[in-house]
Amino acid sequence: MNIALINGSPKGGATNSGFLLEKLRPLLPQEAEISTYRIGPKALKNEQYLELLAMDTLVLAFPLYFDAIPSHLLRMLTEMERSTQSSNQRPQTVRVYAMINNGFFEGDQCKLAVEMIRNWCERCGFMFGTAFGHGAGEMFGSVGHVPVGSGPLKNLGLALEHLVGSIRSGESTEPFFTQPNFPRGLWKFSSTQLFWNATAKKNGLKPKDLRRRPGIPPIRLSQSGGKRQDM
Amino acid sequence: MKMIVHDLENAGELPWLTAFGSGQDVIGTDEAVIRHCTGCFGCWTRTPGTCVLKDEYRHLGARLAACDEMVLISRCTYGGYSPFVCNVLNRMLPYVLPYFRMLKGQMHHQLRYEQTVKFNVYFYGEDLTANERKTAQALVQANSLNLGAKGFEVSFYDNIRQLKEVLS
C-alpha cells in the first residue's frame, strides 16, 4: 500500500496539520510505503501530480479557512483534477482521507470543507474514505508532549482511530467531528489571553491595538469606459 | 458602494463586466498578481487590520469596510468558490478580529468594523451536482455568519451568458 501524507498548511515550519500527520504516521499499517508532500503557495510539479495519482491512498491535512479549503490547496486540487483527465492511470483506485483543524472550538465547523473534499473526489473519480474535523487546532502546538488519547488529546485519539480504521478496512465511513474534552469557555479565554494578547505583547502592541480600524485606502473604482478612478 | 470579486477571464466578458461594475470596487483576475494567505496572523497581531503581504490586496479588510455589499461571481468549484475568488476572500481576514464571540451556539470571530455588508454570490458551472449546490449554499450562509453580513443571497447559473442576462 502506497500512502501519501499531504501537509496542506501554507505556514512554514511546525504546523498543526504537520502535528496531525505526525500523530497519524505510527498508526498506519507497517507494510505501507509512505511519502510526504508539502503544499505551500508554490505549485507542485507535473511529475508530483503523477506520483500522487499512482498512490493507493492520499491523506490530506489542512487548516480551515473561511469555512472551507485554503486557496493554495484548492488550486492544487483543481490542478490534480486536470491531471486525472490527462493521465492514463486508473484514478479510481485512489482513496482519499482528510484531517482538518480549525481555530474555533467546534470540530463540526469543518463539515463543509469535508463536503468539498467529497465533491472533489467525485470529480476526480477517487474514492472518499473518510475525514475528521477537530476544533481548537491552535492548541496542538502547546500539547505536543501529551500522549494521543489522553488529556486534551483524548478525542483526537478517537478521531485518528476512526481514520485509521477506514484506511485499514478500505471501507468508506461517515466523517467524524470533535474538539478537545475541556470546556469551550476555557478555549475562548486561553486563546484570547495566552495566544492573541500574548502575541500582541511580543509585537509591542496592546490588546486594544488589535482592534484598530485602518483608514480606507485609495480605492480605484471601475469606470464604464474601462478605466479606473481613485476614490 | 459594492465590492465585486469575479473570476471571469474571457476578454469577451470584460466589456459587460466594466458596465456592470461601473463606480464599484471591482477585483478580478486581470488585476495585479495575488499572493495566497500564509496563515501568519500578521494582519491580526503585527499590523492589525492590514495584511503583511506587500501586494495590491493587503487592504482588502478596509476596502470591504467601505462597502455595503459584496458580490462574488465565481465558478462553483467542488461546492465552493474558484481558487481566485477563494484567494481574495482568504485575504480579507483582517476584516474580522482574532477574538471570538458566540453566535447560534458556535464560536465565530468578533467584527472589527460596525459597518456590515450584504453578501450576494453568483455561482456558475455547466454540470454542477446536487451536492455541490447544497455545499455552496451552506458555504455562503456560513461565510455570511462569520463575516457578520446583514443578509445573503446565492444563485446558480449554467453558464456566464445566463448569469449576464440576469445581472444586465
Number of independent structural domains in chain B: 1
Whether A226 and B142 lie within 8 Å, measured CB to CB: no
For residue A148, the domain's CATH number is: 3.40.50.360
Q: Are A30 and A2 in contact (CB under 8 A)?
A: no
**Mean pLDDT of the residues in chain B:** 95
Residue of B nearest to A108 (CA): B106
What integer pLDDT is reported at residue A13 of this predicted model? 87
Residue whose C-alpha cell reads 475528521 in the numeric block: A132
Contacts of B65 (CB under 8 A, 6+ apart): A213, A216, B95, B112, B113, B115
What integer pLDDT is reported at residue A86 of this predicted model? 81
Output the pTM of the full model: 0.96
User: Which of B48, B62, B83 faces A216 most closely, judged by CB atoms?
Assistant: B62
**Which residues of chain B are within 8 Å of residue A63 when distances are taken between CB atoms?**
39
**Burial group, residue B126, by CB count within 10 angstroms (0-12, 13-18, 19+):** exposed
Q: Is residue A219 part of a domain?
A: no
**Which residues of chain A are within 8 Å of residue B44 when distances are taken between CB atoms?**
196, 210
Q: All 3 cell numbers of residue B160?
A: 456566464
Radius of gyration in angstroms for the set of CA atoms belonging to chain B, rounded to a whole number: 16
pLDDT digits (tens, 9 = 90+) for B40-91: 999 999 999 999 999 999 999 999 999 999 999 999 999 999 999 999 999 9
CA–CA distance, B94 with A2 (Å, rounded to integer):
40
Confirm or reject contact between B2 and chain A (CB < 8 A): no
Q: Tell me the residue range of the domain where A103 lies.
A: 2-200
Task: Assign 3-state DSSP to chain B and report helix, strand, coil percentages, each to 5.
Answer: 35, 25, 40
What integer pLDDT is reported at residue A89 of this predicted model? 61
Confirm or reject contact between A185 and chain B (CB < 8 A): no
> What's the distance, CA B165 to chain centroid?
22
| Disruptive mutation site among A7, A69, A119, A188 for chain B (greatest number of B CBs within 10 Å) | A119
Q: Which segments of chain B are extended strands (E)?
A: 2-6, 25-27, 69-75, 96-103, 106-111, 118-124, 151-157
CA distance A215 to chain B (A): 7
User: Which of A120, A213, A219 faces B112 most closely, judged by CB atoms?
Assistant: A213
**Burial group, residue A109, by CB count within 10 angstroms (0-12, 13-18, 19+):** buried
What integer pLDDT is reported at residue A119 of this predicted model? 98
A227: left (phi over 0), alpha (psi -120 to 50) or beta: beta
What integer pLDDT is reported at residue A228 of this predicted model? 57
Length of chain A: 231
SS3 (DSSP) at B164: helix
For residue B162, the domain's CATH number is: 3.40.50.360
Per-block mean pLDDT, blocks of 10 residues, chain A (231 long): 96 93 97 96 90 96 98 97 79 87 98 98 96 95 90 96 97 97 94 95 97 86 61 56
What integer pLDDT is reported at residue A224 of this predicted model? 62
Q: Is residue A70 part of a domain?
A: yes
Residue of B nearest to A104 (CA): B107
Number of independent structural domains in chain A: 1
Residue of A nearest to B109 (CA): A104
**A30-47 CB burial, b ≥16 within 10 A, e <16:** eeeebeebbbbeeebeee
Q: Is residue A37 part of a domain?
A: yes
What integer pLDDT is reported at residue B11 of this predicted model? 67
Give residues 124 to 183 of A whose Cβ lies within 8 Å of B: none
What integer pLDDT is reported at residue A45 of this predicted model? 93
**Which residues of chain A are within 8 Å of residue B77 when distances are taken between CB atoms?**
74, 78
Q: Is residue A211 part of a domain?
A: no
Whether A212 and B49 lie within 8 Å, measured CB to CB: yes
CA distance B94 to chain A (A): 10
Please give the residue that has the higher pLDDT: either A56 or B16.
A56
Question: For A213-219, which contacts have Cβ atoms below 8 Å and span 24 or more sequence positions?
Answer: A213/B49, A213/B62, A213/B65, A213/B112, A213/B113, A214/B48, A214/B49, A214/B50, A214/B59, A214/B61, A214/B62, A215/B62, A216/B62, A216/B63, A216/B65, A216/B66, A217/B59, A217/B62, A217/B63, A219/B1, A219/B25, A219/B63, A219/B66
Q: Tell me the residue range of the domain where B162 lies.
A: 2-167
What integer pLDDT is reported at residue A214 of this predicted model? 94
pLDDT digits (tens, 9 = 90+) for A129-184: 999 999 999 999 888 889 999 999 999 999 999 999 999 999 999 999 999 989 99
CA distances from A194 to A2, A104, A184 (A): 40, 15, 15
